[in-house]
Structure 1
Amino acid sequence: MRQYQFASFGLDQLKITESEPPAPGPGEVAIDVRAFSLNYRDLLVVKGLYNPRLALPAVPVSDGAGVVASVGKGVTDVREGDRVMTQFVADWTDGPFEARHAGSTLGTPGPGLAAERVVLPERAVVPMPDGYDFAQASTFPIAALTAWSVLVTEGKIQEGQWALTLGTGGVSVFAVQLAKALGAKVIITSSSDDKLARAQSLGADHGINYNDNPRWDKAVLEITGGRGADVVVETAGIATMTTSMKATAAGGLIGVLGGVTGLSGEVQIAPLVMKRLRVVGVLVDSRAHFEELSAFLAEHSIEPVIDRKFRFDELPAALQHLESGGHFGKIVVEI
């Protein structure tokens, strides 16, 4: 079988290698991967910016979808031929997050999905919802579930409340779709008027071009009648944190999940204190919440937005497209 490995860091170090297909052991499932989607984390992993001490060689990519090829002894929840998605935090099945769960993430330190076949623990696979193909389902495990975690698990957003999401990558686009299906009102930011128009065609109530409106927190307050957003999907990181807090309603929640603008720097904490805000770090979510999301997606016929599809041998180009920031929604690689 074919798989991608990198023995040293850098996109130019990604190489297709050949190996014998792995066989599942007790409690494990072998999956023939049919599609995987890319997340910013995957780019950071390959470039050595996510974990510079990562044991190499490694197989990248954190989520995907495929068909169960075989199962090991003791597996009861899935069987050969089932269509499944991966659970990114493999050991987080339910309940509160624990420190040990971070060591079970797929795409390092756990198995990577950039392979024709992968073996995972049974608990790390979730049945695909009806009505979706593999490319679509591959976008759900991280991007959709992260948006769900901010809006529902942590934010508990209610009908008529305001959600604010930053940018037009996979998480933000899912946040628009999910928030609207939940009855909320949505504001989205971008540097592109064309992307804002596309987001509004998906249901976003307002779009703010942050190049034209550097103090976009004031625009959010104006749109919401001075209230601010009840839930903020903070995808950008340190450079936008202060502005996000200023744009948040008193008692509101900011779900921090990305760091494309950096992970450290100066932040004004006055809005945090004076408005009694909650700032929550979001590392995707549990398998139990993924199952809830899967049912919700099917019930509301939410169709993921796929910016572009690449062939398996085009993974480096797909990661370069992700790095360019020109995408809207998700980037998928099909096998």
Structure 2
Amino acid sequence: MTLPTSYRAYKSNADGYQNLQLTQVDLREPKPLEAVVRVHAVSLQFRDLLVAKGDYGLPTGAGIVPCSDMAGTIVALGEDARRFFSVGERVCANFAPDFLAGEPTPENRAALGGERDGVLAEYVVVPAYSLVRVPEHLSFVEGATLPCAALTAWNALTGSTPIKGGDTVLVLGTGGVSIFALQFAAASGATVILTSSSDAKLALGRKLGAHYTINYKTTPEWDEEVKKITNGRGVDHVVEVGGLGTIERSVNAVRLAGSVHLIGTVSKGASGIPLIPAILRSIKLNGVVVGSVRQFEDMNRFIEARGLRPVVDRTFPFERAREAYKYQDAQGFVGKVVIEVVEE
């Protein structure tokens, strides 16, 4: 196809998502190892709210294109990139385009929608080596949920201390990372304990495979309830997305030498990591920031083998991206919020 000379993209100046500006951007030809991707769908993260509000922990440039997670179709390839992909293939770009395998380094950690331009646009030009094929059974909307939330959950559960059948996993909340963690853990043969403040969300969690559920509003000492469920042993893994408001109870809920995967900061609180209990009980505190292209490929094979489908709470059209941000900010959703750039 003939590429357009320009396309629409949102830009952020860290002055709130209400002030995202829809602008016209020139589209250039791809370099030898690059691909031009027609974006079909973009999913939102809690991180996107931080970037939009100027609260992100890493520096971002003025007028940056926000968001890290997309699915789309390759429409043009540089000469060297044609060895790996073909025009017309459905792909996602990895959260950190240069993070191919192994451990994150200062050289490969720069991510889309934060330290470099993101994907809330009609087209993106990215390194072809950062692309991963979308599982065949998933739509573009479903595929757009994979690069950050799904891969973060996958890295937590299969990274430094891999999950195994028979393990017990505590999942906090029902946001994107948490729902994927629930699905991955259940599909791996683990017993899953899910917390939420909503009985309706917990009911959905049980349909997705949660074996036990705890409403932390009616059971504020949910860590003690976890211990009862596990006969005093504690869980093998905690998917810890809360932060200051939950870390103390998470450490109390995990077994001796168990793993607490530190992912999010969505809950408010004044407590810090309880160092003495963590040390005395040999707790593994595992900081997780998404994952590599190789992990993404491994995860997609698992998703295809198990026939898993992401949970999409609601979609918004491209022109109503600010409304999608507002809906994300309200935190009433389960799973993922997606912006459809091209309506399916």
**TM-score scaled to structure 1, two decimals?**
0.96
Show structure 1 runs of 4+ deviating over 3 A: 262-265
Q: Secondary structure at the match of 1:168?
A: coil
User: 1:302-328: CA deviations, max 9, x gaps?
Assistant: 011000011001111111111101000
Partner Cα distance (1:259, 1:275) in 2:
24
User: How well do the aligned residues superpose, as a CA RMSD in angstroms?
Assistant: 1.4
Partner Cα distance (1:91, 1:265) in 2:
35
Q: Residue 145 of structure 2 is aligned with which of 139, 155, 158?
A: 139
Counterpart amino acid of 2:157? L
Counterpart amino acid of 1:243? R
Match of 1:77 in 2: 84
Match of 2:103 in 1: 96
User: How many Å apart are 1:261 and its aligned residue?
Assistant: 2.4
Q: Residue 216 of structure 2 is aligned with which of 210, 221, 235?
A: 210
User: 1:42-99: CA deviations, max 9, x gaps?
Assistant: 1110110004742201110111100001011311211211110110011111112223
Structure 2, unmatched stretches of 5+, are: 1-6
Q: Secondary structure at the match of 1:244?
A: helix
Partner Cα distance (2:58, 2:187) in 1:
40
Percent identity of equivalent pairs: 38
User: 1:106-137: CA deviations, max 9, x gaps?
Assistant: 11222211000000011211111111110011
Match of 1:299 in 2: 305
Q: Residue 32 of structure 1 is aligned with which of 33, 38, 41?
A: 38
Matched, 1:266 2:272: yes
**TM-score scaled to structure 2, two decimals?**
0.94
Q: Residue 197 of structure 1 is aligned with which of 193, 197, 203?
A: 203
* Native 8 Å contact 2:247 2:272 kept in 1: no
Q: Residue 256 of structure 1 is aligned with which of 259, 262, 267?
A: 262
Partner Cα distance (1:264, 1:35) in 2:
37
Counterpart amino acid of 2:78? G
Equivalent pairs counted in the alignment come to 334
User: How many Å apart are 1:19 and its aligned residue?
Assistant: 2.2
Deviates more, 1:263-272 or 1:115-124: 263-272
Q: Secondary structure at the match of 1:252?
A: strand
Partner Cα distance (2:323, 2:239) in 1:
28
Q: Secondary structure at the match of 1:239?
A: coil
* Native 8 Å contact 1:22 1:118 kept in 2: no
Q: Secondary structure at the match of 1:261?
A: coil
Q: Residue 54 of structure 1 is aligned with which of 49, 54, 60?
A: 60
Q: Secondary structure at the match of 2:80?
A: coil
Counterpart amino acid of 2:77? V
Q: Residue 87 of structure 1 is aligned with which of 86, 94, 104?
A: 94
Q: How does 1:273-288 map to 2 (within 5 A)?
A: 273-288=279-294
User: 1:247-299: CA deviations, max 9, x gaps?
Assistant: 00111101111111259853322220121010011011111111000000001
Q: Secondary structure at the match of 2:15?
A: coil
Partner Cα distance (2:160, 2:88) in 1:
35
Q: Residue 325 of structure 1 is aligned with which of 324, 328, 331?
A: 331
* Native 8 Å contact 1:22 1:117 kept in 2: no
User: 1:187-220: CA deviations, max 9, x gaps?
Assistant: 0111111101110111100111111111111000
Q: How does 1:133-212 map to 2 (within 5 A)?
A: 133-212=139-218
Match of 2:233 in 1: 227
Partner Cα distance (2:73, 2:127) in 1:
14
Q: Residue 15 of structure 1 is aligned with which of 2, 16, 21?
A: 21
User: How many Å apart are 1:26 and its aligned residue?
Assistant: 2.2
User: How many Å apart are 1:25 and its aligned residue?
Assistant: 1.4
Partner Cα distance (1:186, 1:206) in 2:
7
Partner Cα distance (1:138, 1:230) in 2:
30
Counterpart amino acid of 2:201? K
Q: Residue 242 of structure 1 is aligned with which of 223, 244, 248?
A: 248
